[in-house]
Structures are given as C-alpha cells and as structure tokens.
Amino acid sequence: MIHTKPPKTVMQRDFKSLLDNAAYPALKRKRPRQRARWAGLAAGLTLFAAAGLLFTDTDADADANRSTGNADSALLENDLSIETRITLPLTLPGGASDEAIEATFAAESAAVTKPAIDWQVETVRSGDSLARIFSRLGISPQQLDRLMRTGEDTAMLKRIMPGQTLKFDVQDGELQQLVVEIDRLNTLHIQREGEGFGTHTTTRELETRVANASGKISSSLFLAGMDAGLSDNLVMELAGIFGWDVDFALDIREGDHFTLLYEEKYLDGEKLRDGDILAAEFTNRGKTYRALRYTNAGGRSDYYTPDGKSMRKAFIRTPVDFTRISSRFGKRYHPTLKKRKNHHGVDYAAPRGTPIKAAGDGKIVHIGRKGGYGKTIIIQHGGKYSTLYAHMSNYNRKLRRGARVKQGQTIGYVGTTGRSTGPHLHYEFRVNGVHRNPLTVKLPTAAPIQAKYRADFLTKTRVLVSQLDMLTATTVAANEHTE
C-alpha cells in the first residue's frame, strides 16, 4: 500500500516556502513598523520592554500552533493580535499615564505661536465720526450700537479728534478688538465678549527726573525765571509758594535771587512737562525764605519751612492780579468828594472783569450794594478777621449770603460801581472790626505740620535741605567769580 504524506505537511511546507519567499519578509517589515508607531505615539516612553513581552508571547503562540499543525491559523491570529494591541490605548507598565501624555501634547500645543493680529489702522480725518469709520471698514451699525452701550469708557468715542489713531481687529466683518489712543499716556482697549464688548484702560507711567535752577533778579521775577530756563507755570508756582511773605509786585528788588529743585516728567526719553517744585529758596531784600514740599500719609501735599511751619498764611496778601496800586491806606485826597479823608483800604487798579479772589476761608455776611462802595462782598473769617471787596462789576453767580468760600476762590470781578473814577478793587482788612493796612498787617499763619507727621517730615526733607545748601553755595561761588 502506498502511503502519501498528509496534505497538512504539504500545507506547512508550502506555507513555509511562501513565508520564505514573500510573506515572511513582509511580516518582518511590518513588526518594526508597528514598534515605530508605538514609539512615536508614546513620545519616547519606555515601550520597548512591554513590546518585547508582547512579541515573546506571540512567538510562543506561533510555535504551539505549528506543533499542532495550525500554522496557517496561528500566523493569522498573531497578525491580528499585533494589530489589536498596537491600536488599543493601553496604559503600559512603567510607562506614562494618560494624564502625562495629555500634558505633553498640551505643552506642545501651547508652544505653538499664535498668529499675529492683522490690525487695520485708521487715523481720524476731519469730519470723521466713529460710524463713518465703521462703515469704511465694513462693520455693521449693530456692532457699533452694542459697543457704544458698553459703558462710560466708550462715551469718549463720541468725541474723537482728527489725528487720533484707532486700531481695529476685524475678522469676517466682526469687530474683535478696538484700540484707541486717548493721549500719549492713556489707551482704551475694547474686546469682544460674547455678543457684547468689554473695556479696560492702560496708563503708561512717566519717568520722573529732578532738575534744579537758580536765578538773579534784575527787573522782574518772570524775566529772571526765563533766563534760568523755567516755564511760566514754574515761575507762577514759585511766586505762589512765597506769595504770603513776598509781594512780587511791590517788594522785589534788583539783586534778589532764588534757587529751586523741581521735577521733570519724561516719556520715552522726551520731556513732556514740568512736575512739582520739591524745594525752593528765595532771598528778598537780604532776607531768605525756604520752602520744602511734603506729602503726609493722608496724601495731602503742602509747603513748609525747614522747621515744619506752614508757608501758607490764613490770608492772601493780594486778592487780585493788579497793574498798579492807585491809592494806599491812610489819609488821602478823595477824587470824588474833593477833600482829604481817611482811606481804610488799598485800591488795586486792574482791567474791568479781572477776577477777585477770597483772601481766606470764611463765610459771606454781605453781598449786594453798599452805598459808595457799590457792589460789595464782606467775608467773615472766624470771630476775629473780616475782609471787604468793593466797586465790583459783578459777583460769582453761585454765591449767596451765608455761603462759605475757600481761600483763592473767585467771588467777583473788577468794576467801577459806587463812587469810583476807574476800574479797580477797593480792599479792606479788619481785625476785631478795626481797619488795618492790608499791605503791612501781619497775617496769621496756617497750622504747622501735625505732630504725628513731624518725625517723618524731618526725615524726608533732610535730603532736600542738603541739596539746597549745596546749590546755594555753588550759586554764590559762581556769582562771586563773575563779579
């Protein structure tokens, strides 16, 4: 009897030859490709150990299947097993968790640079309105309406001025952001928030530098200030600081001199404006006055002498900007009555309509016409002092009898009402009802620095005093050298 080999053997041999010739190299190529795929997905995690276990189990299964004559089926199972294990999102022993993998991908995503905004810059033209600019950019009126309803911040957009710059971020006709340069320091930012808009304003900080100047008066404080490189505002501030002790219209003499430390405000290296005077010294008729600026813990700033006395007085020496004194205190020949008569005040000649200021804090006890005084206001300052202002053309319309006023507040305007031959202010100063010469009366000082701030004041102003000493010494030496 002739025996033939079972077909199974033939199938094994044939299949083996098939593997040797074609399929096996393909499978060999497939497994490294799967391992590479694992390595890429796990981002360098410890995968190869787990993969080795996987392939070891796979080879053992293949040998068992070949020994039972199921090579065809075994290889097919191996192939499916590999494919299934690789594609399932398993957490591998000793490898990274799902959270770690997600964090890795999140970090990589965050590292991607956001695309730059394609800003559309519009410069406001003469006659432009925000609605016209929106129309040019193809933004609907409905969006403009929603924007203008956002709040008080957007109200300023109703008053845009020619030359202002507006930056728009528009995507598919929808306004995403609007940046408006209010001025060189302040910028309004508007951004879309759902169906509406939100706003916030950013403010740039100015750089503060300390400068100094010195001057010697030959004719006037303003000319000396100009020669020292001071702005009109700084000269006015300097006069205001020492105005209670020095009458800059009458007391100035040639040879008077001053020194001051003051702030300058810069932006991007460019000076924008002057700041406050920090310390100043003024010598008038051989007498020297010093003033130091101090801000207490409550935020109130004022000027004090080096020992803490206030530079302010309870009263302004001169309550009006005048051109000349037309009549002084004392006996004089009255121009309308044509006889000598006591003059109980000082007449300050000034153009009609020149503002008249309250000499000190107080309460109005009279406002109206008063005989030869014409239109008059009388202010009571506590129980001891009172001041009178006569020949006014008009009053501050907000004032009534009993109203309280602050020092320097405008109460009326120069005129010629009553017995007057020309526009001027007749000003009287009374102490306990007795007339005193406003030009020479000793004015009460304001309250000194509070005791609780005194130590802090002395500490903070010590440096200013030292700097003034140094500047004064340098100025004196320079003047002596030039002489």
459-464-466 Cα angle (round to 5): 95
pLDDT tens by residue, 417-462: 998 889 999 999 999 989 999 888 888 878 889 899 999 999 999 9
Section 207-232 average pLDDT: 93
DSSP code at position 362: E
Do 383 and 389 touch, CB atoms closer than 8 A? Answer: no
pLDDT tens by residue, 388-409: 999 999 999 999 999 999 999 9
Q: What is the pLDDT of residue 194?
A: 86
Helix axes 24-42, 71-87, angle to 10 degrees: 20
Q: What is the pLDDT of residue 88?
A: 43
Q: Is the pLDDT of residue 282 over 70?
A: yes
Q: Is the pLDDT of residue 96 over 70?
A: no
Q: Is the pLDDT of residue 100 over 80?
A: no
Average pLDDT, the chain: 80
Q: Is the pLDDT of residue 73 over 90?
A: no
Q: Is the pLDDT of residue 369 over 90?
A: yes
Q: Is the pLDDT of residue 75 over 50?
A: no
> Distances from the Cα of 443 to the Cαs of 74, 85, 325, 407, in angstroms?
116, 100, 20, 14
Torsions phi, psi for 133 (to 5 deg) = -65, -40
Q: What is the pLDDT of residue 178?
A: 93
Q: Specify the range with the lowest mean pLDDT, choosing from 8-12, 121-125, 189-193.
A: 8-12
Placement of tokens 């970090």 in the chain: 107
Q: What is the pLDDT of residue 446?
A: 81
Section 108-129 average pLDDT: 76
Q: What is the pLDDT of residue 423?
A: 93
Do 262 and 211 touch, CB atoms closer than 8 A? Answer: yes
Q: What is the pLDDT of residue 58?
A: 45
Section 97-109 average pLDDT: 57
pLDDT tens by residue, 332-367: 555 665 566 678 899 999 999 999 999 999 999 999
State how far the Cα of 315 lies from the Cα of 194, in Å rounded to an integer.
59
Q: What is the pLDDT of residue 33?
A: 52
> Distances from the Cα of 180 to the Cαs of 175, 186, 465, in angstroms?
14, 9, 44
Q: Specify the range with the lowest mean pLDDT, choosing from 11-15, 61-65, 266-270, 422-426.
A: 11-15
State how far the Cα of 143 lies from the Cα of 134, in Å rounded to an integer.
9
Q: What is the pLDDT of residue 322?
A: 83
Q: What is the pLDDT of residue 113?
A: 54
In sequence order, what are the residues at sequence separation of 6 or more whose Cβ sits closer than 8 angstroms to the Cβ of residue 292? 278, 279, 303, 304, 305, 306, 461, 464, 465
Over its C-alpha atoms, the chain yields an Rg (Å, rounded) of 45
Section 280-296 average pLDDT: 94
Q: What is the pLDDT of residue 355?
A: 96
Grade residue 138 by pLDDT with cuts at 50, 70 and 90.
very high
Higher pLDDT among residues 287 and 109, named by residue: 287
Retrieve residue 219's tokens. Answer: 């004719």
Section 59-76 average pLDDT: 46
Q: What is the pLDDT of residue 12?
A: 43
Q: Is the pLDDT of residue 4 over 50?
A: no
Q: Is 479 left (phi over 0), alpha (psi -120 to 50) or beta?
A: alpha
Share of the chain above pLDDT 90, in %: 49
Q: Specify the range with the lowest mean pLDDT, choosing from 131-140, 315-324, 414-423, 458-467.
A: 315-324
DSSP states along 387-434: EEEEEEEEE-TT--TT-EE-TT-EEEEEB--SS-SSSEEEEEEEETTE
Grade residue 2 by pLDDT with cuts at 50, 70 and 90.
very low
Higher pLDDT among residues 269 and 326, named by residue: 269
Q: Specify the range with the lowest mean pLDDT, choosing from 108-117, 263-272, 274-283.
A: 108-117
